Structure 1
Amino acid sequence: MDFVAGCIGGAAGVLVGHPFDTVKVRLQIQSIDKPLYRGTFHCFQSIIRQESAFGLYKGIGSPMMGLTFINAIVFGVQGNTMRLLGHDTPMNQFLAGAAAGALQSVLCCPMELAKTRMQMQGTGEKKSSRRLYKNSLDCLVRIYKREGLVGVNRGMVTTLIRETPGFGVYFLAYDVLTRNIGCEPNDRYMIPKLLFAGGMAGIASWLSTYPVDVIKSRLQADGVGGVNQYSSIADCVRQSVRKEGYMVFTRGLTSTLLRAFPVNAATFATVTLVLIYARGDQAGPQECEPAQTSHHAQIQSQSQPSSL
């Protein structure tokens, strides 16, 4: 039931947050010489006006497709790492989250590559006249045929650099918040507390690694038009800073933070309600801190969505 609840919660997070993610990617990648969007809200408006509301959900098949496997890796690794470490401390929460983030990158990187390519396809067009990819799976297959495993894993290093500390910060922030606010099952404010803790933990995680995400998105989108701009991570950083200054590392940050809170809040609330409904109050979590070795173990593996 833990696995099912985690998957349902993660799916809820993807549905709530994907439009914000599409805007984030468009802003991160757009040309500084010929920008299509003036900012977050203008990007939202432009996509809806030019591509319809469905344009905000381009590439959603990829995160949905990889959701089950990524959740299984994250939850399993984080829980087992906490048991190996033996003590539920903030530092151990960080280490367990970092281990989970590193291992799930193996699936996360190809998934986000397909998502990014799909999100960029048909920019500004309601009905794309040149559809390179039918769907996320077709996107990965075509990339594999053209570039092999190296192409499918484009952006793996930056994904590892982002996900390892990012998941560590997430679990650490969530643990610290829930230890301080508490949320017993009979507390009438348990769900609002879960929403708050999850949302704020997601924001903390993104703030800690966002510049790396900008570079990752640019590397994964590189070559879409047939021309590769960057030869390496360092080259991407140099060119981006030279052309746009250090503020380039905040591109799309507003959309990301707007997305982070509801995504994590939706995930936590959904997971908690599923567990309470399935198990009853007595079997539900006694508090909402994840990864406790005793009475917190039941909700530990549900406290992290598949994508921050």
Structure 2
Amino acid sequence: MALDFVAGCFGGLAGILVGHPFDTVKVRLQAQNINNPQYRGTIHCFSSTIRKESFLGLYKGMQSPLVGVTFINAIIFGTYGNILRRLPDDNSRSRFIAGSIAGTFQSGVACPMELVKTWMQLQSENDTNKLANGKKNASVKFRSSFHCLHHVYKTYGLKGCYRGMNLTVLREAIGCGTYFSSYDAICKAVLNEQIDPLYLTVSKMLFAGGMTGVISWLVTYPIDVLKTRIQADGLHTGVMEYSGLRDCFLKSYKNEGLYFLTRGLNSALLRAFPVNAATFTAVELFYRIIGSTEEDDEEY
């Protein structure tokens, strides 16, 4: 149904407006150099960003996800809803399958969008990018997400825009599958409710959506850390530190131990609950409004 795509748009808008500041902190913590750390933790990153760049600094790079996430959520919820209706059973397993397919399908949009978002978020107001004269990214100051994307394409080609694509697909397939199956399980097992936007209260929608996001991020977070490091590689110097995924993992593990796979997790979980609470509630309320409208039309 086309309504699934429209509902996803509303959910994406709600989620990005609520969660982008947390995402900026998460990305900065994930990508910072352990040998010369700029931030001591989540709270310090929040306060430092606001002090140096104002509160708007937390919304850096929002142009890309504001457009992209709205479109991505339309793809996710639209694809998910249409696939689920074609599966024989409506249970957690079917919801995982439908969610995984939807997540894989939208990765082609998510990958370049997140690369641009990452580069914008890691660019501070005092960053002149003059660390390597003559290097590819030297002295580049990105004016907008679109300027950043143009630079990436011009410098690295189409392949460069899809850096980290394999990790994006892996994260989205697992994450979206977990996302929708968890929502179903929480509604049935914890709230003792069937998933029906006409009957779930707003408080239950918020709780189920928020917990769904937390569970999904806990499952996929190590993949996201590696994706961020691969996508951010060479941003300031123009010199690539990692030759690939395996090299990124081994070098990160050697320098930081397995702890590197949880860097920025606090911020991600703080972000996950309100973002997904807002996303799912916006989607469900949209269905409720449409459902009420259709019932009124039938009466006449």
TM-score, structure 1 length as denominator? 0.86
Identify the match of residue 168 of structure 2 among 140, 159, 172: 159
Cα offset, 1:77, TM superposition: 1.9
Counterpart pick for 1:240 among 237, 252, 272:
252
Equivalent pairs, count: 282
Q: Which letter maps to 1:84?
A: R
Q: Which amino acid aligns with 2:38?
A: L
Q: Distance in 1 between matches of 2:258 and 2:264?
A: 14
Residue of structure 2 equivalent to 1:62: 64
| SS of the residue 1:45 aligns to | helix
Task: Please list the CA deviations of residues 75-95 of structure 1 after superposition, one character each: whole Å capped at 9, or x if unmatched.
Answer: 232122212322112111111
Partner residue, 2:242 = 230
Q: Which residue identity does 1:67 align to in structure 2? A: V
Q: 1:186 to 1:210 in 2, by over 3 A?
A: closer
What is the match of residue 13 of structure 1?
15
| Structure 2 unmatched runs, 5+ | 131-138
The answer as to whether partners of 1:59 and 1:115 remain within 8 angstroms in 2 is yes
Give the superposed CA RMSD. 2.2
Unaligned runs of 5+ in 1: 285-308
- Matched residue type, 2:246: A
**1:29-56 deviations in Å (ceiling 9; x for gaps):** 1011110100000000000001110110
Q: Which moved more, 1:81-90 or 1:16-25?
A: 81-90
Map of 1:136 onto structure 2:
145
Q: Which residue of 2 aligns with 1:103?
A: 105
Of residues 215, 233, 239 in structure 2, which corresponds to 1:204?
Answer: 215
* Residue 146 of structure 1: aligned partner: 155
In 2, are the aligned partners of 1:162 and 1:213 still within 8 Å (CA)?
Answer: yes
2:278 is aligned with 1:266: yes
Q: What letter is aligned with 2:155? A: R
* Contact map agreement 1:276 1:283 (CA 8 A) in 2: no
CA–CA distance in structure 1, aligned partners of residues 4 and 178 of structure 2: 23
Percent identical residues: 52
Give the aligned residue type for 1:46. S
Moved more, 30-39 or 114-123: 114-123
1:283, distance to aligned residue in structure 2 (A): 5.0
Structure 2 distance, partners of 1:38, 1:210, is: 20
Give the 5 Å matches for 1:1-308: 1-122=3-124, 132-180=141-189, 181=191, 182=193, 190-225=201-236, 226-280=238-292
TM-score of the two chains, using structure 2 as the length reference: 0.88
- TM superposition shift of 1:161: 1.2
Amino acid at match of 1:96: A
Is the CA contact (8 Å cut-off) linking 2:25 and 2:46 kept in structure 1?
A: yes
Distance in 2 (alpha carbons) for counterparts of 1:128 and 1:232: 24
